[in-house]
């Protein structure tokens, strides 16, 4: 049912360039967390560090009682099997069919028979709505289908932790909505621990159980969705307040600096928009790790912005996507 990851005091530099320092957070088992941050703040570096592809200078990453930072290569190899990673571009092999791409980790890391491989690949392709596209090459399908194929491949080894690096980049709003629904339904079905890097504010507001924000070489904040969506902290507001600024403007740290300057000069922030309901599963059941709307606010004596938790207006369509993309 997913595993917890506890990051403590993590610092990563390249040469003299500090990417981020003293990052501490816990990704709760089975929950969906989103990481936001301007372009270049080291979100992808964070994912690569979590999976052990990059070594931090300081800090620890505890998973099942083991610290990934100090593990030997052989043990790290074992721990990595807990992870499924969806890279930004899907990272599919261009000359292989979707079927072979998705079967690749099974053929590489397990001794399963071809008939078992077929069963697993078919099941995962169905999960992501790609049944019927087995023989297509990555170059013959749309960007949205490639993302889903990458997701199917990340799923074949039944990971306990899935890291998504901008699964929604380059997708139109409708396909982003479908993908978000897929992520919610998938989390409900396999109950792994999810960490999603995204620039999409609507995704950040409606999909996760927890939100984090990397900003100016620090983790500005990490916590339950309602905590960040009701936060008065200027940087957090600036990022999560959809009324104020779109994700593209926020993709530049410079813009954020300018906005901070504006704020210092006395420009008023607009009121916090209502906290939307979290995207429900297609079936309508709550996910095992889902909290009740308003629960965090109530428990912490925080009054949510007026109109919070009232409608599904920002929720994505409730149906599973058809094959066409
Ligand atoms: N292997 C590397 N060697 C040296 N510097 C690197 C390496 N990988 C990343 N960086 C630097 O680390 C910083 C953070 O990069 P990263 O790709 O994590 O940003 P990001 O937050 O994912 O940005 P985006 O939103 O644009 O994807 C950048 O300045 C980048 O140049
Ligand atoms: Mg990135």
DSSP secondary structure of 36-104? E--TTSSHHHHHHHHTTSS--SEEEEEETTEETTT--HHHHHHHHTTEEEE-TT----TTS-HHHHHHH
- Give the Å distances, CA to CA, from 172 to 39, 175, 240, 248, 268: 20, 5, 20, 14, 32
* Residues 164, 86 contacting (CB under 8 angstroms): yes
Within-domain flag for 103: no
321 within a domain of the structure (yes/no): no
**Which of the ligands is closest to the CA of residue 46?**
1
What is the structure's pLDDT at 109? 86
- Predicted confidence at residue 246, as pLDDT, reads 36
pLDDT given at position 38: 87
Q: Is the CB of 45 under 6 A from ligand 1?
A: yes
Domain membership of residue 78 as a residue range: 5-82+159-299
Reference 27, options 190, 259, 194; nearest CA is 194
Torsion of CA 51, 198, 17, 68, to 10 degrees: -20
In a domain, 44, yes or no: yes
| This model's pTM is above 0.85 | yes
Helices within 251-294 (DSSP H only): 253-264
Give the nearest ligand 1 atom to 15 CA: 4
What's the confidence (pLDDT) of residue 142? 85
Q: Which two tokens stand for residue 256?
A: 């954020």
Q: Which ligand is the nearest neighbour of the Cα of 43?
A: 1
pLDDT tens by residue, 31-62: 999 999 988 899 999 999 999 989 999 999 99
Does residue 181 sit within a domain? yes
Which residue lies with its CA nearest to atom 9 of ligand 1?
45
- Does the pLDDT of residue 315 top 60, yes or no? no
CATH number of the CATH domain containing 18: 3.40.50.300
Give the model confidence (pLDDT) of 90-136 as tens digits.
Answer: 688 989 999 999 999 999 888 999 999 999 999 999 988 899 999 99
| 37 ligand 1 Cβ < 6 A | yes
Domain assignment present for residue 120? The answer is: no
pLDDT of residue 325: 42
Q: Considering the domain boundaries, does residue 130 fall inside one?
A: no
Has residue 36 been placed in a domain?
A: yes
The tally of domains found in the chain comes to 1
Q: What is the pLDDT of residues 158-170, one digit of tens each?
A: 899 999 999 888 7
**Spacing, Cα 135 to ligand 2 middle (Å):** 30
Structural tokens at position 233: 């902290």
Q: Which residues contact 86 (CB under 8 A, 6 or more apart)?
A: 147, 150, 151, 154, 162, 163, 164, 165, 167
Residue 96 forms part of a structural domain: no
Containing 316, the helix (H) or strand (E) segment is: none
Confidence of residue 251 (pLDDT cuts 50, 70, 90): very low
- For the beta carbon of residue 270, count every other beta carbon within 10 angstroms: 9
Tell me the C-alpha to C-alpha distance, in Å, between residue 156 and each of 50, 123, 150, 163, 301.
Answer: 20, 9, 10, 14, 43
Residue 120 alpha carbon to ligand 1 centre in Å? 34
């Amino acid at each position: 049912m997913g595993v917890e990851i506890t990051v403590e005091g993590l610092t990563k530099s390249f040469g003299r360039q500090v990417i981020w320092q003293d990052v501490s957070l816990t990704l709760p088992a089975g929950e969906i967390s989103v990481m936001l941050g301007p372009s270049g703040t080291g979100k992808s570096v964070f994912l690569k560090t979590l999976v052990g592809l990059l070594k931090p200078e300081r800090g620890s990453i505890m998973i099942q009682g083991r610290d990934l930072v100090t593990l030997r290569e052989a043990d790290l190899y074992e721990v990595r099997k807990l992870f499924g990673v969806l890279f930004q571009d899907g990272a599919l092999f261009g000359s292989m069919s979707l079927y072979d791409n998705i079967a690749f980790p099974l053929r590489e890391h397990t001794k399963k028979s071809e008939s078992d491989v077929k069963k697993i690949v078919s099941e995962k392709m169905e999960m992501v709505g790609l049944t019927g596209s087995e023989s297509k090459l990555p170059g013959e399908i749309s960007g949205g289908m490639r993302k889903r194929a990458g997701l199917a491949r990340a799923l074949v080894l039944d990971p306990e932790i899935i890291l998504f690096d901008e699964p929604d980049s380059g997708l139109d709003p409708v396909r982003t909505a479908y993908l978000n629904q897929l992520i919610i339904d998938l989390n409900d079905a396999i109950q792994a621990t999810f960490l999603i890097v995204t620039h999409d504010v609507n995704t950040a507001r409606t999909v996760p159980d927890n939100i984090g924000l990397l900003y100016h070489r620090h983790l500005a904040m990490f916590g339950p969705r309602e905590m960040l969506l009701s936060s008065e902290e200027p940087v957090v507001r600036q990022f999560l307040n959809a009324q104020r600024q779109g994700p593209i403007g926020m993709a530049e740290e410079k813009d954020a600096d300018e906005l901070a300057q504006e704020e210092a000069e006395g420009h008023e922030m607009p009121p916090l928009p209502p906290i939307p309901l979290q995207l429900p599963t297609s079936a309508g059941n709550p996910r095992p790790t889902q909290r009740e709307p308003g629960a965090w606010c109530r428990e912490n004596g925080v009054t949510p912005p007026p109109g919070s938790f009232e409608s599904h207006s920002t929720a994505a369509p409730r149906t599973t996507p058809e094959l066409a993309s």
